[in-house]
Amino acid sequence: MKRILVTGGAGFLGSHLIDRLVEHGHEVVCLDNLQTGNEENIKHLEERITFVKHDITNSFPDLGDFDEIYNLACPASPIHYQANPVHTFKTSILGALNVLELARQTGAKIFQASTSEVYGDPLVHPQPEDYWGNVNPIGIRSCYDEGKRGAETLFSDYARMYNVEIKIVRIFNTYGPRMDPKDGRVVSNFIMQSLQNKSLTVYGDGKQSRSFCYVDDLIEGFIRMMATPKEIQGPINLGNPNEFTMLELAKKVIRFTGNESPLQFNELPQDDPKQRQPVIDEASHILNWHPKVSLDIGLQKTIAYFVNRVEC
């Protein structure tokens, strides 16, 4: 049994990760400031984990030693991270410094949940890990994009300077139960709009593409990455390489909800990537990891979760 800290543990991904860690018999401390996390996501585990309400931009209270740390703390949807961009940037940078110091002091192995947003609006398609990206450093998404890029830098430098054992993964679009219905991401938007018999909001011409990974597949990648030897640091892409346009996604959601929702086309937001698709050769070779859940199956599971969360 290991003692493991999960920052951002009450969030969408964090709560699913904690499910897996508890299932494996580990002692888990869940740390979250509840800015975008929700205690309901971990309520079923309240007797089996320790919850600490804390913002990682501040110095950590005395939490004891850990064997492993998963750093998932940061707003991840544009609506949330743009609501307070300065705090978002501080969460990525100051938060990274704080968790890295904790890892250095306790000898813990530490995992950084980075993002495909480090590639920006890519000029290379699909995106391999050695692509350095095309990021606007002063745009409305920069607080998140550049914050996560900076965090990768800090993790890499702590490994070089202090011999901290690091693991970095870059997460591509992920969906599933426990997503915030109001987070503004395309999967949750389409599902909620369709269930409410509203028009589905499509930005631009709908031909921009994404690759959608079901949450259970992603968490399996997390677990496998943390278990790799020390010399494996990453970054490693984790995502489903099957690519779909927004129009294709909209049609699938309409089919699975059974509601003939019309499409409403709006202007494409600033710096919104036109294409996003991971190269997962590294994950395949190093982690023996491949996504297993198809978009059709994953959408049906996600829709079943959202049915009870529709505001009429």
Identify the CA nearest to 92 among candidates 303, 277, 200, 84. Answer: 84
Beta bridge partners of residue 171, listed in sequence order: 115, 238
pLDDT of residue 271: 61
pLDDT of residue 100: 98
pLDDT of residue 312: 42
pTM to 2 decimal places: 0.94
Contacts of 266 (CB under 8 A, 6+ apart): 201, 202, 203
The CA distance from 261 to 169, in Å, is 36
pLDDT (tens digit, 0 to 9) for every residue of the chain, 312 residues total?
999 999 999 999 999 999 999 999 999 999 999 999 999 999 999 999 999 999 999 999 999 999 999 999 998 878 888 889 999 999 999 999 999 999 999 999 999 999 999 999 999 999 999 999 999 999 999 999 999 999 999 999 999 999 999 999 999 999 999 999 888 889 999 999 999 999 998 988 888 888 999 999 999 999 999 999 999 999 999 999 999 999 999 999 999 999 888 888 888 776 666 778 999 999 999 999 999 999 999 999 999 999 987 754
pLDDT of residue 193: 93
Contacts of 105 (CB under 8 A, 6+ apart): none
Identify the CA nearest to 237 among candidates 121, 138, 152, 135. Answer: 152
In the chain, list all ranges with CATH 3.40.50.720.
3-174+213-238
The single residue of 119, 144, 158, 175 carrying the catalytic annotation is 144
Beta bridge partners of residue 167, listed in sequence order: 111
Task: Please name the fold of domain 3-174+213-238.
Answer: Rossmann fold (3.40.50)
Identify the CA nearest to 227 among candidates 109, 96, 72. Answer: 109
Backbone angles phi, psi at 217, to 5 degrees: -65, -45
In the chain, list all ranges with CATH 3.90.25.10.
181-210+242-276+293-309
**Does the active-site annotation cover 144?**
yes
Over its C-alpha atoms, the chain yields an Rg (Å, rounded) of 19
The CA distance from 234 to 173, in Å, is 19
Task: Please name the fold of domain 181-210+242-276+293-309.
Answer: UDP-galactose 4-epimerase; domain 1 (3.90.25)
Burial 190-226 (b: 16+ CB within 10 A, else e): bbbbbbeeeebbbbeebebbbbbbbbbbbbbbbbbbb
